Amino acid sequence: MLHLAVDAATLARLQRRNRLETALTLIALLLLAAAIGWLAAGPEGLVIGAAMMAAGLAFGALPADAVFVHGYGAVRLSPSAAPGLFALVAELSRRAGLAVAPTLYLLPQPVLQAMAAGTTEKPGIGFTRSLVEILTPAELAGVLAHEVSHIRHGDLIVMRLAAQASAITRAMAQAGLLVLLLWGTGAMGAHPLLPALLIVAPLLADLLTLSLSRTREFLADARAVELTGDPQGLASALLTLEQIQGDDFERLASRGPWWLRLFRTHPTIAERVAALREATVVLRPALPLWGDTPWGQGLPPPRRRLPWRR
């Protein structure tokens, strides 16, 4: 029997990529807001922009109840209502090293969907009834492990910071454009490049945030496989979602030029399944008495890439 696992080197590479892109994205968003303030009013504008950004980033994340119950109209589940799901999420949370297991919410939307929200201390996972009814237990475990991985990696915090920075940059750009329309560049003493920056800044901020979101999905997939030990479960779930409802509502990769992908929050299903295939290896079972032989002691089991195809 073949034993499947995620390659440790691939996990380490994805982790480094996540950290690097997170740092670069947040720095780029800060510099974008700083540039608006500097070109608008020099050092004073830079100080004002920095103060606005600091105030926005200090704003706490919304609790899971506020997001799911008030935002989506979800129902907060009790352990007695879904004991199997609570046991599954509790085990995944234990394996992920979470201090507290996420609260579960039933979303009223008809689509197959799951998402994580809240804070690291009080996380929540929302999912739709159709997701539970259609996916197999192995597929559902892979999807829930993916959401647990988002919580484990601090994605709730990272994406909140990126979204806040993007929103503040957009607000500063809109306020600057309004001032320019009412009083012109002469009244502000602004730099001639300011109007162009105010126009493109919101788009640049959004593209940076979306890129960060797509990058973090790959690590969440890989870590989900690490939690379940079943690469095929998550891959099968993704392909099932694609077969039933297409590539979610973001079927932009097949509609027009390639650059439409830049506006997706998630990679395409094909990209995610391919990444799982590349990250999955087969651990060959040890030969009889392998560990008892002098030449086998202390050696890791041989491994090879899995020729996994759809």
User: Which residues are known catalytic residues?
Assistant: 147
Beta strands at 75-76 and 3-6: parallel, antiparallel or unpaired:
unpaired
d(CA 34, CA 44): 11
Task: Note the Cα 140 to chain centre separation in Å.
Answer: 18
Indicate the SS3 state at residue 126.
Answer: strand
The torsion region of residue 248 among left (phi > 0), alpha (psi -120 to 50) and beta comes to: left
Beta strands at 280-283 and 123-128: parallel, antiparallel or unpaired:
unpaired
Looking at the DSSP bridge assignments, the partners of residue 5 are 281
Residue 246 tokens, joined: 């297409």
Looking at the DSSP bridge assignments, the partners of residue 155 are none
Q: Are 194 and 180 in contact (CB under 8 A)?
A: yes
Tell me whether residue 181 is exposed, middle or buried, using C-beta atoms within 10 angstroms of its C-beta: 0 to 12, 13 to 18, 19 or more: exposed
d(CA 75, CA 143): 19
Tell me whether residue 55 is exposed, middle or buried, using C-beta atoms within 10 angstroms of its C-beta: 0 to 12, 13 to 18, 19 or more: exposed
Q: Letter for the amino acid at 81?
A: A
